[in-house]
Chains A and B, each alone.
Chain A
Amino acid sequence: MTARLSPEMCAAAPPTTVGFGNVLRSEWTKLRSLRSTCWSAAFVVLATVGLGIFMGARWAHQSGPIPPGFDATNTSLSGTYIAQLIVGALGVLTITSEYATGMIRATFSAVPQRRTLLAAKAVVLALGTLVVAEAVCFVAFVSCQALLANKGVGVSLGDPGALRSVVGAGLYLTAAALLGFGLGAAIRHPAGGLSAFFGLLFAPSAIVDLLPTDWRNDLINYMPANAGSQIFTTDNVNGALGPWAGLGVFCLYAAAALVVGFVLTAVRDA
C-alpha cells in the first residue's frame, strides 16, 4: 500500500503539558495490558485465599487438641509467604521486561525524565498491589476464621493484633513488590532481578544461621523476611522486633533497593 499522509491524518490533538498524571495513566495502561499481570493477580488470590481456607480446614479437622500458643491470625495469613514471591516477581518483571523486550527505549524516548518515569511505575505497582493484597488478606482471614470457629479457636478482627496483622500483611506484600521493583531497576535483567529478590528473602537467614548463636540471635531479627513477617504475627517471639518495627526494617530494605535502582537508572546508558 502507499502512504497516505494527508494533513488531517497528521494533525495531532493540541499538546497538553506532560505531567506526572499522564505518566501515571500510561504506566497503568502498561500494567493492565499484560496477561502476566492478570495471572499474577489470580495467583495471589489463589495462594492467599486458597491457603487461608486450606489451613482453616486443616486445623478444624485436627484430631487432637490445638497446641497452646496457636496463632490463629498468622495461620489464616499463611498464603502471604507464597504471595510475597508472586508480587516480588511482578515488581522485578515490571521493569526488567521493558529492558528485555527493548520497550525501555520507546519508554525513555517518550519520557526522558527517567526518575519521574520510575516513580510513576512504582506508584502504579504499589497501589495495584496494595488494593489486591488488602482485599485477599481480608478474605483469607475471614474465611479461615470461620472454619477455625468450629474448633473454638477462631478470632475476629476485634481481637488483639488481628486487624493490624491483616492490614499489615497487605502492606508487607506491597513493600515486597517495591523491593522487587527496586532490585529490577538496579539489575535490569529478569533472571538476575528474580535471583536477587529470592536470594534476599531466603539467603540471609540461612547464612546468619551459620554464625555463633548469640550473634545469630541478634542478627536474625533484622533479616528481611524475619523482620517483615512480624507484622502479621500476633504471638511475637521474645526478642524479635515488634510488628511495626519489623515492617519498618523490611521497608528500609525496599527503600534501599529503590534508591539504588533510581540512581543507576538515571546515570546509566539505556
Chain B
Amino acid sequence: MIEARRLTKRYGSTLAVDDLSFDVLPGRVTGFLGPNGAGKSTTMRMVLGLDRPTSGTVTVLGRPFGEHHRPLHEIGAVLESRSVHGGRSAYNHLLCLAQSNGIAERRVHDVLELVGLSDVAGRRARAFSLGMSQRLGLAAALLGDPAVVLCDEPVNGLDPEGIRWIRTTLRALAAEGRTVFVSSHLMSEMALMADHVIVVGRGRLLADASMADLLASGARSFALVRTPDATRLAAVLHKAGATTSAHADGGLEVVGLPCDRIGDLAAEHGLRVHELTPRQASLEAAFLELTHDSVDFRVEEAS
C-alpha cells in the first residue's frame, strides 16, 4: 500500500510533480503512466525517500520510507537507471544488500534462482545485458520478500522475451497479494500488465481508474451502426440521449448508448440495422487524449 497526499516536487522553477494524490492498493498491478518528463520517476524517487518532497507526503505501509528500519522487507524497488556497481559480482551485489537488512545469505541463492541468474552469479555486473540487469534488479527487490514492489520503466529496452518475463513475474507477485506499482510510457505494455492505472502529465494527476474504466471512458469509444435508415435512426437515438456523427468509412458513430440499447431502439421503431459494432478506444488512444495538453515536446502534425 502506497499513499501519496498532495505530493509536490519543485526543481528550481520546474514543477516536476504537482499536488499529486493517489493510493496504490495491494493485490493488483497498478500502472503509472505518463509521457516522458511527466514526473513518474521523480514520484517513485520520493516514494523511496531518495528525493525529498517540496510539500506533501508519501507513505509506504503507513510510514514514510525513511522511517522503515529494514525497508527491504517492506518495499523492493527496481529503478530505471542501473543501480549496480559494475565491478561487483551479481552475488556480492545481492549479498551486501541482504546483509544490510539482516537477511540470510541463503536468500541470495534463492532470489538468484528465482530470476534465473544462478549460473552467472559470479560474473561482474558490468558484463550483464540489459535483460540480465533487469533480472538482477528484480532479484534485489525480492530479497526481503516485500509486500510492496516498485518498478520504474522495467521493460525499457528489453527484448520480447524479457518483456514477457517481467510481465508474468509482476502479475504473479500481484496475484500473491503484493502491491505492485509499475511505471511506463508504453501504453500497449500497460494494457497487458496493469489492472489499475494512474495517469500523470506535467506532474499532475490526469486519471486514476481501473484499466477497464479508462478504456470505456475514452471519448473514442462508440458504436458503429450501418443502416439504410440513418436519418430516422439518428433521430431516435438523439431522443434517447445519444450523439451521432458520420463515421469516416460511412455509417453512424453513436456515442452515449450501449450497443444493446441501440439494437433494441432500432427494433422498436422497425428500423433496419446491417451492422452494429462496439468500437473501443485503445488504451493508447485514451492515453493520448488524456495527455494531449500535457506533453512537453510534441511534433506538430503537418497540415
Contacts and interface: CB of A to CB of B under 8 A. Distances in A.
A34 B100 contact: no
Interface of A: 1-5, 7, 9-13, 15-19, 22-23, 25-27, 29-30, 33-36, 97-98, 101-113, 269-270
Interface in B157-216: 165, 168-169, 172-173, 176
B128 interface: no
B96 A26 contact: yes
Interface residues of B, number: 56
B83 interface: yes
Given A3-B165, A103-B85, A17 B100 contact: no
B172 A17 contact: no
A171 to B, nearest CB: 28
B66 A112 contact: yes
Contact of A109 (B77, B102, B110): B77
B145 interface: yes
A2 B110 CA distance: 16
A25 B99 CA distance: 6
Interface string B58-73: 0000000111111111
Interface in B130-178: 140, 142-145, 165, 168-169, 172-173, 176
A19 B101 CA distance: 8
A16 B140 contact: no
B28 to A, nearest CB: 16
A18 B87 contact: no
Contacts of A98: 85
Nearest to A268: B52
Nearest to A270: B50
A164 B96 CA distance: 37
A23 B69 CA distance: 11
Given A13-B106, A17-B70, A35-B87, A30 B96 contact: yes
A105 B140 CA distance: 12
Contact of B84 (A5, A17, A103): A103
B83 A106 contact: yes
Nearest to B81: A102
B82 interface: yes
Contacts of B86: 101
Given A11-B145, A12-B143, A18-B102, A26 B73 contact: no
Contact of A18 (B48, B92, B101, B143): B101
Contact of A12 (B87, B113, B145): B145
Given A1-B116, A9-B110, A108 B50 contact: yes
Contacts of A97: 85, 87
Given A10-B142, A18-B69, A105 B96 contact: no
Contact of B83 (A102, A112, A269): A102
